[in-house]
């Protein structure tokens, strides 16, 4: 399989990493809206609900960012490994020679 073809096709895990990244972006973008709604709830008298909404929105966004970054790093590592394995197989390195025991000269 050529390198360009491997780079163009997306596996299921790649699609999941992209979905996790999109979810993280959406949850981070929703944090200011949730904080505003929490302030409104607290002004109307529901202090516990407002604090819970603020805390849950921040925790959910942080968890989504962590999951997206971990899965993205794993996918990046897989892609780099695949590309380097393909290029290592196609390149020849004539500078490396394995010596036998008889090739060494020992001075007694």
Tens digit of each residue's pLDDT (9 = 90 or more) over 75-85 = 777 777 777 76
- For the question of whether the overall pTM of this predicted structure is more than 0.75, the answer is no
The span from the CA of 86 to the CA of 6, in Å, is: 10
State the pLDDT at residue 42. 92
Establish how many alpha carbons lie within 13 A of residue 92's alpha carbon, considering only the half-sphere containing its beta carbon: 2
State the pLDDT at residue 48. 93
Q: Is the pLDDT assigned to residue 22 strictly greater than 90?
A: no
State the pLDDT at residue 6. 52
State the pLDDT at residue 90. 57
State the pLDDT at residue 71. 81
């Amino acid at each position: 399989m050529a390198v360009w073809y491997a780079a163009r096709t997306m596996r299921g895990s790649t699609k999941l990493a992209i979905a996790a990244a999109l979810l993280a972006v959406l949850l981070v973008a929703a944090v200011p809206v949730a904080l505003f709604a929490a302030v409104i709830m607290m002004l109307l008298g529901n202090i516990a609900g407002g604090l819970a909404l603020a805390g849950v929105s921040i925790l959910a966004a942080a968890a989504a960012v962590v999951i997206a970054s971990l899965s993205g790093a794993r996918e990046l590592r897989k892609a780099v490994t695949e590309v380097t394995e393909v290029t290592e197989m196609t390149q020849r390195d004539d500078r490396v020679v394995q010596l036998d025991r008889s090739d060494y000269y020992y001075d007694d």
